[in-house]
Structure 1
């Protein structure tokens, strides 16, 4: 594969084509990470970071040219993204980036609320002074962060550091997946500067409860924090969709008014038959008597 863009908005990783042959050792047909997985990972990152916007087409030919591969690994990558909810594949239309969904956003944060409350309750008894210093540093690093990508990264690091001492690797993997799925929605927070400040303050409150070893308070705070974020994003997407529908209706009305104005009234044409018939005149007395 190459990383030539060819009009595609990603710089994909390059795969080395040179391999050292060892006597008696079979050369693998494919690298440990398959080409389709490399492509899927690159597309997923572009979707999460907004390089590929919701609804953007994912054209197989453009992706194949970008990565210098055939259509087969591209199709596999798109099927993988569709199964994960990042893309949609429609018959006769092809693939596109999945739209933002208010219901999905709220559900992600509802699930996170339940699981992270559980993880925090398991983790608090195992926190040490050292782990709490790490959590505190991560909380401070996100307070004044204005770059969406860095903020999202530090936000996840803060939350995961809260739960790491729980010693539940499968639970942590589930949480990482949910954070990844919710990253597109979390970036919307930067449309609400005041809310970001409130969210950062809630991080400080959660940390304080953990430092006090107050498990019920910490669990309640993290649940409220996450449910509140989910509801905020749900309302935002609802209002944005309503505004889009209203704007579309206004454009339709304006287009109708313009069409009617362009169709100016036409004066009725003179009747050709009446125009061709000479006007009758009064007959003179001599003509009348003849």
Structure 2
């Protein structure tokens, strides 16, 4: 078991950490948010592995704050699905879930199909040029942490002209919930290449103002990604539980019939 699952990484003898140092005075007004952002980043990049303890005392010492903003930050992470808090046991990083990964992408498919349909008539040459640049940046990215950021930026650039702030916020939240799952694609390089090609086709449909094709492409792109991550997590679950085992025959049939 790695250090990340045995103890809070800041306790490492090396003293190194992916988290920022103590928060400055100017940042203290938003201390819980800053702590939550730092912990979320550490979860996404793997510094804090699934099941790793999120000890309030260690976090408070690192950021030189009291326990109050740390508790608020952990409550925020729990509400977003990043942390699991149990009575008398404290907080830990939420486990990866095949079912959650698939559901996130199913919901994204519905919302982003709606968003892209609303956005296409409002796109301008400038917004399309911006989306093109973000598409290229995501395709060229080889760092998992940067890729998830650039992937999100590309997708959101397609929807922003819709001018639907609540819809945009919901989509952004789901992107963040799916960040650590999306990183798994880097263990499947051929699928990342396929995803990049789908981005190009999607952008082409948006440029052409083809709402129906764009909605079909974004829906299939997201559902396929969700199913890919679901299969990957199920296949790597081992003997984690009967639920995973009962789904494996279904997964195998899907794989046998894919690629046609």
Whether these two folds match at TM > 0.5 is yes
Query: 1:49: how far off?
Result: 2.3
- Determine whether 1:230 maps to 2:226: yes
Describe the SS at the equivalent of 2:119: helix
User: Which structure: greater helix fraction?
Assistant: 2
Aligned to 1:32: 29
Answer with 72-81 or 114-123: which moved more. 72-81
Q: Deviations over 1:138-189 (max 9, x none)?
A: 1112223211122111111111111111111111111111111110000000
Describe the SS at the equivalent of 1:32: helix
Q: Using structure 2 for the length normalisation, give the TM-score.
A: 0.82
Q: Aligned in 2, Cα 1:135/1:206: closer, same or farther, shift over 3 Å?
A: same
Aligned to 2:250: none
For the pair shown, which has the larger CA radius of gyration, 1 or 2?
A: 1
> How many angstroms apart in 1 are the aligned matches of 2:33 and 2:135?
33
Aligned to 1:121: 117
Q: Aligned in 2, Cα 1:125/1:235: closer, same or farther, shift over 3 Å?
A: same
- Determine whether 1:206 maps to 2:215: no
Number of matched residues?
Answer: 228
> How many angstroms apart in 2 are the aligned matches of 1:103 and 1:170?
25
For structure 2, the 5+ residue unaligned runs are: 1-9, 242-260
Aligned to 2:147: 151
Aligned to 2:56: 60
Contact 1:152 1:186 in 2 (8 A): yes
Describe the SS at the equivalent of 2:178: helix
| RMSD of aligned Cα (Å) | 1.9
For structure 1, the 5+ residue unaligned runs are: 18-29, 246-290
Which residues of 2 match residues 78-97 of structure 1 at below 5 A? 78-97=74-93
- Determine whether 1:15 maps to 2:24: yes
Hey, which bits of structure 1, 4+ residues long, moved more than 6 A? none
Aligned to 1:241: 237
Q: Using structure 1 for the length normalisation, give the TM-score.
A: 0.74
Aligned to 1:249: none
Q: Deviations over 1:66-124 (max 9, x none)?
A: 11222232223222222221111123322110011111111110111001000000011
Contact 2:55 2:90 in 1 (8 A): yes
Give the counterpart of 1:195 among 191, 205, 218. Answer: 191
Query: 1:13: how far off?
Result: 4.9
> How many angstroms apart in 1 are the aligned matches of 2:64 and 2:28?
16
Query: 1:31: how far off?
Result: 4.8
Give the counterpart of 1:76 among 59, 66, 72. Answer: 72
